Structure 1
């Protein structure tokens, strides 16, 4: 059997993955971060790129190394724990937060400015239409590469390229001094801003979806699957970095025309209006709608694929169920949705990061089973403490932890535990299996 893809299919695969990642948070967070970072643009952008590009790229590669499935990625964990972890992540990136946010951002930035009298009714109507379209494209998993990678993404990328070139050729202001946390801790602040894209979560799931796409093209051998999955990840990462850098610079040069803006969506809207005049809102609407729609399609497809695998309901039933829930949740409102998602992100993001790191070093660990269980448990425990601080609970007892004040109290305990696992012999694995039997 032929295990080779044409160059156009490889590019389409990378474009599809890029489009899946480039959604709501990827557009609304960088402009505001760039404006606040000001003259600290480079370190802030570096921190953001680390979590918003580097970690998702690592996540895709981890999926490839692990064999292209969630089961292979978490084979050293108890099956129930693996299922609960995957279900929580899929719920977060699916109907609870990320997927509804794509519809909300598309409405707020692409449709609302064009409506004379926007209301909760117009939001409800748009949510139904938006997620109905997403369900339509999600219906056939085998055609995702052709529909997304060869149809929607090239249009999206062309619009983004035009915007990026315009921003660098005709910046709308000078770069001002850094503000707020970006003035004192630009790198770590940018690092946490990258959390909000949720792309490390999504990478673990989108990687599996790409594997399904490869199978539809006749690629079934593990070596070929790994090669093309990594190729797609590199294309997607390059595209994301290109977009983020241009949006950060857009934000950094926006102060004179968009000072005091509450969010990156508002900054982006004002900036594009200044660049393109009367056509500005049309350009913005096309970019935002396509970006949010392609991500919604990826999320619906991956979430439905997972839950159809662990339940008796078919993939198509789950597409409808998840799509309807997303349309309902989208009416909660953008600000409320983001505020609800932050504590959950702080609790589970470190676990996803630890899982990615473990996938890279698994073959070097004397006792992978024990290592996975202990390292992930430690990362979760300390991440929950960071999350508790976010919601306002008094956790000052843990101030002695390095990086705790920056919301990274989990880092040192997790790394220390991981290093310790390199000195735990295989004999301990037999003991663990006896105790858990």
Structure 2
């Protein structure tokens, strides 16, 4: 009878939720990393783009599908087959990384450093960041203050405005190309390992982690449309997720192409923010700075809204004595404080955490999507995660700042990693151990299933 009361949603509802998802996923890093990848890859952009799309589009889509397939309401549920304590610890680590420690502060610092700072007088950067980040996180707090208004704020207003401005850039950029992509120089790392380097660059978007964290925000938004049954919510979320990530993939390809063409006029930049600044200045002159500032601020704000809301929703659910709005205020204030350490510091310390968390997130996403095949068995989950966590920790140590990575302790662990783990030098030392853990876990699961199935027969023979 409940299914008869489910409302019939229109195509417009899918588009609005997909637009919200696009806005939540698509932050500053999603603009600057593909541009920089295009500059690095040059004429060899295609394999690099394919690698980037795996970790920056396919994985985030799978994270949305993992939430849908398991009828999970957030990142906590994804880790629950391994027990409540693991699920809680994993949720806290994910939210801390994409929240107040790295991801959320980065939304403000990238928007400021790339879009606002070039227009300020010399010596005003630190004070400018203080004021900008305060206003930025105040806006994020106010836009996410009412949970049921997030879909409208992001899906109907902020994201469409951002996309309109971005496509002005694409229209002008591809109508008046800076040169041939085929003639663009290729940096040494991308001559032979374009796919792999693109794959690792996709980590920087943090979107696979964000997709898990956004689960609670998306489910809340979908239920706000009137859907109640878990199956209907899951199906709607999956369709909106496919639509959103397909659009994100298309934007990535256009950005990578712009970046590749730009090296016909500019040297490869140290990071994508500089590349973006050069491109918009080339096409729009002084007005390009205003366009750049508007683009970055809008896209960063939509992501910040999603991140602070997801943090507050998940933490209120598991620590209900503190209200959603109190968690929201704490998250916004903590992100404001971290943002004022500056972009370079945030990026320097976020990379090691991503090298640790991304392998765990990838295997948990894969297990969640395929969990119906082994009934979410804790045995399978346990072996895969146990065999993944050690190489992930070694990857984290190797990517820490030099004060740790180049110490005697750091060098010793890196030597062990490189000597005994295949693909370790590529940052993929966890892959083979994870596959071994999967094989062992599935073997034990299948043996136990057969033993359980044969037990009644054995008893009947004795009788």
TM class by smaller structure? over 0.9
1:428 Cα deviation from its structure 2 partner: 5.2
Contact map agreement 1:272 1:284 (CA 8 A) in 2: yes
Paired positions, count: 430
1:40 Cα deviation from its structure 2 partner: 1.1
Contact map agreement 2:143 2:150 (CA 8 A) in 1: yes
Q: Which residue, 16, 27, 31 being the options, matches 2:31?
A: 27
Secondary structure, aligned partner of 1:257: coil
Q: Which runs of 5+ in 2 are unaligned?
A: 452-463
Contact map agreement 1:4 1:224 (CA 8 A) in 2: no
Is 1:370 aligned to 2:390, yes or no? no
TM-score between the two structures when normalised by the length of structure 2: 0.89
Aligned equivalent of 1:238: 246
1:427 Cα deviation from its structure 2 partner: 7.1
Query: Which structure 2 residues correspond to residues 325-344 of structure 1 after superposition, within 5 A?
Result: 325-344=334-353
CA–CA distance in structure 2, aligned partners of residues 380 and 64 of structure 1:
25
The one-character-per-residue Cα deviations of 1:111-162 (angstroms, maximum 9, x if unpaired) are: 2122234321111011100000000001011111111111111111111222
1:426 Cα deviation from its structure 2 partner: 6.4
The one-character-per-residue Cα deviations of 1:316-364 (angstroms, maximum 9, x if unpaired) are: 0011101011111101111111110001100111000000010122122
Query: Which structure 2 residues correspond to residues 99-138 of structure 1 after superposition, within 5 A?
Result: 99-117=104-122, 118-138=124-144
Q: Mean Cα displacement is larger for which, 113-122 or 345-354?
A: 113-122
Q: Mean Cα displacement is larger for which, 8-17 or 162-171?
A: 162-171
Secondary structure, aligned partner of 1:382: helix
Is 1:274 aligned to 2:282, yes or no? yes
CA–CA distance in structure 1, aligned partners of residues 47 and 446 of structure 2:
42
Secondary structure, aligned partner of 1:422: helix
Aligned equivalent of 1:407: 427
Query: Which structure 2 residues correspond to residues 136-175 of structure 1 after superposition, within 5 A?
Result: 136-175=142-181
Aligned equivalent of 2:40: 36
Q: Mean Cα displacement is larger for which, 110-119 or 40-49?
A: 110-119
- Structure having the higher Rg: 2
Secondary structure, aligned partner of 2:81: coil
Is 1:381 aligned to 2:400, yes or no? no
1:366 Cα deviation from its structure 2 partner: 6.7
Secondary structure, aligned partner of 2:264: helix
Contact map agreement 1:367 1:426 (CA 8 A) in 2: no
1:425 Cα deviation from its structure 2 partner: 3.1
CA–CA distance in structure 2, aligned partners of residues 260 and 49 of structure 1:
21
TM-score between the two structures when normalised by the length of structure 1: 0.95
The one-character-per-residue Cα deviations of 1:264-322 (angstroms, maximum 9, x if unpaired) are: 11111111111122321222122111100000000000001111112221000011101
Aligned equivalent of 1:435: none
Q: Which runs of 5+ in 1 are unaligned?
A: 432-437
Q: Which residue, 392, 417, 421 being the options, matches 2:441?
A: 421
The one-character-per-residue Cα deviations of 1:42-76 (angstroms, maximum 9, x if unpaired) are: 00011001100010001000100010323442331
Aligned equivalent of 1:197: 205
User: Alignment RMSD, CA only?
Assistant: 1.7
